[in-house]
Amino acid sequence: MARPKRNKKAALKHLIYLLPKWILIMVLCLGVCFAVLVETGIISTDSIVKLFDKPLFDSRIDADIPEEARDFCVYTLDVGQGDCIFIYADGKSILIDSGEKDYYSEVISFISKKGVKKLDYIIATHPHSDHIGGMSMIIDEFGADKIIVPKLPDEMVPASKCYESFLSSVKRKGSKLTAAKAGNTYNVAQINGKDVILTIVSPSDKAVFEDLNDYSVTVRLDYGNISWLFTGDLSKPGETALLENGMDIDVTALKVGHHGSTHSSSKEFLKAVTPKLCVISCGKDN
């Protein structure tokens, strides 16, 4: 009679039981020491990379994306302390924010390598430089069929140089701004019989906030069983208003609000979103 295969979990427990206790204690101590060194900054992830001469994360474009999945991709670009998301859907393109001005050439290069000549959608979530600092140059380079922005109260409209440059580029390209309105949907593309749909979920028309961040255009992106929520710099008051407006925000992936700030991502909000994947875009050592 064949002996039944030992359960892997049980086998691991048995192996640990057989090991001398001093080895287990030594391994545990080494792990704790390593964690403390990384947390205090004495050892950095960069030094580990140099030690093994291999990156911890593969940043090559499309490096590990299966061929059949390349028609629909969501990229979070590294723009330091800022936001920049590029979405590619069967030849259609969406850019959400641009990061600071210092990163505009890298963003333009990335988009150009995807074969994009003109952007289909630009969403400038709100007029802070870490979100629209490089948008002027990107609009000058590509233009866009539709540029979506939040409708701000007069007292919230900034007089910053980057915002003025943004408006000048929009005018120079002959484009018009579209005010974000909760509930508006855009059918971006259709891939293998499935629609790629962009939905504005926030802010609502009657929303009034004290902080410009809470006017961030928040959008949901759906393609089959994949769904994303992009929140700009939405903080807790904006999250509460979004929960109250009745929009469906239960998604599989979340671009975490306000760079992972403690002012965002309330327990109630995360419970409603239930993301399997979260992405935080922030600067090094933040």
**Cβ neighbours around 242 below 10 Å, total:** 25
For the chain, what is the domain count?
A: 2
* 184 in a structural domain: yes
- pLDDT score of 26: 72
Which residue, among 128, 139, 143, 123, has the nearest Cα to 221 in the 3D structure? 123
Do 188 and 92 form a contact (C-beta atoms < 8 A)?
yes
What's the token pair of residue 151?
A: 């409708």
Q: Is the pLDDT of residue 44 over 60?
A: no
* 116 in a structural domain: yes
- pLDDT score of 18: 61
Quick one: 177 and 140 in the same domain? Answer: yes
Quick one: 28 and 76 in the same domain? Answer: no
Q: Is the pLDDT of residue 215 over 50?
A: yes
Secondary element (H or E) of residue 73: strand 72-76
- Domain containing residue 101: 67-279
Query: How does the average pLDDT of the chain come out, rounded?
Result: 85
Which residue's structure tokens are 């039944």? 4
- pLDDT score of 55: 40
- pLDDT score of 57: 39
Quick one: 134 and 35 in the same domain? Answer: no
Residue 149 vs residue 36, higher pLDDT = 149
Q: Which range has the worst mean pLDDT, 61-75, 132-146, 240-254? A: 61-75
Quick one: 82 and 41 in the same domain? Answer: no
Q: Which residues contact 57 (CB under 8 A, 6 or more apart)?
A: none
* 83 in a structural domain: yes
Query: Using CA atoms, how far apart are residues 234 and 214, in angstroms rounded to an integer?
Result: 5
Quick one: 156 and 179 in the same domain? Answer: yes
Confidence label for 284 from pLDDT (cuts 50, 70 and 90): confident
Which residue's structure tokens are 């007069």? 154
Q: Is the pLDDT of residue 262 over 60?
A: yes
Q: From the centroid of its chain, how far is CA 86?
A: 9
Q: Is the Cα dihedral 103, 79, 43, 261 positive or negative? A: positive
Cα distance between the two ends of the chain: 61
* 58 in a structural domain: no
